[in-house]
A = this chain, B = another copy of it.
Amino acid sequence: MSVVTIERKVLEKNDEIAATNRLLFKERGIYVINIVSSPGSGKTSILECTLERLVGKIRLAVIEGDVQTDLDARRIIRYKVPAVQIVTRGGCHLEANLVRDALAKIDLEGLQFLVIENVGNLVCPANYDLGEDRKVVVVSTTEGDDKPLKYPAMFRNAGILIINKIDLLPYVNCSMARLRENALAVNPGLKIFETSCTTKKGIPEWCDWILSQTPPRD
């Protein structure tokens, strides 16, 4: 039995569980995003800005994935939002079974929007469906404009791209036009947001889009 065979079986098993998660989300009317990026691109900061605007408008919950520590979940619970931390202990991505287990710890009643923040890794999480509606890939301007070309799978499998840290553009070697062009060359269907968690630019547009996916309930 080769490593490739094992890997295919792992992915098949993962896809089955992801399909079950997706069915559960659909039955309950929960819109789910899976946020992926390099370490330090600002996934948790974007999430904090998002919660700041949306808490009280829609019912949200967060699943945090990290290799080690519960630092991110601690940042999230300050917003009075249910948060579950998954610690992979060295694992380089979340898998659908970990999300299924985390769901057991969240009250899904009335929930409208679930954010799954993946492990910081621009390679491995690309291949693992968690049952989400959309993968949202975040890339920060400080990482340069070539990342979509160098890590194409992630940009190909995502529906949304958030270009973060746009406030740092004057200080870094990154062309916004080239970054957009490279991303759209890999995936012409990408919907792109540009944000800064420092100046809050672009955050309202991003939050409005979330609200358009999760109509308020009575």
Contact = CB atoms under 8 A, between A and B. Distances in A.
Nearest to A91: B123
Interface in A123-151: 123-124, 139-140, 142-144, 146-147, 149-151
Interface in A7-21: 10
Interface stretch (A54-62, A66-74, A103-111, A203-211): A66-74
A1 interface: yes
Contact of A142 (B1, B142, B150, B153): B142
Contacts of A66: 150
Contact of A168 (B39, B69, B142): B142
Contact of A67 (B40, B90, B150, B168): B150
A165 interface: yes
A121 interface: yes
B143 A90 contact: no
A41 B183 CA distance: 19
Interface of A: 1, 3, 6, 10, 38-40, 66-69, 71, 90, 92, 119-124, 139-140, 142-144, 146-147, 149-153, 165, 167-168, 171-173, 198
